[in-house]
Structure 1
Amino acid sequence: VNLLFSANRWEMASEIVDDLNRGIVVVCDRYAFSGVAYSAAKGLDFAWCQAHDRGLPLPDSVFFMRVEPQVGALRANFGDERYEDVDMQVRVRERFDDPRLRQGVPWH
């Protein structure tokens, strides 16, 4: 799945760059960081997960909405999706806290 999502990001990369060059603000609700965090949380090597997205346009800023996994589990329909169980979300959260994920981009 990591490779499919990465391929999709590469497919859109030139469009993102074109929009930015035209002065259009691009806002993404998920980007390469999510792919790395989820894939690494499943046990894949962190560096391997990052490798496929190297060279993609970097965002100017990342706004990370931190929600405790136990709080997220209280949402309606939590658990309906494949990766929505508290243990997985704890592992994902740990990967988002990994400083290697945050290199080169300001996180807020």
Structure 2
Amino acid sequence: LWNVKTLLQNSKLENLKVEMDKMNVDVLGIAEMRWPDGGDFWSGEYRVIYSDTYKPGQGGVGIVLKKDLGKRVKGYVHRKGRIILVKLDTEPINTTVIQVYMPT
């Protein structure tokens, strides 16, 4: 378990990708990304899919996928910075990845 505390600073995403490589992680769920709006983009060999926030600078969830899995995304949905669901076209059956943020 690793707490990046937020991904508001650009360098944090780069650090996250380095750690994913070192630990051989293909899929990573993130809580409290704190990025505005929702989006889907490629950052080098990684696909980042993230939700909006329920309040500016708070909450937000996301999923980071290595290139092979990033290419297999069939669709995704997110709601109010608390939950994101990504559907992957995998064999022998499709895979669904869910990341949920429930603040204490």
Give the TM-score of the pair, scaled to structure 2: 0.30
Bigger relative CO (Cα 8 Å, ≥ 6 apart) = 1
Higher share of residues assigned helix: 1
TM-score by length of 1: 0.30
Larger Rg: 1
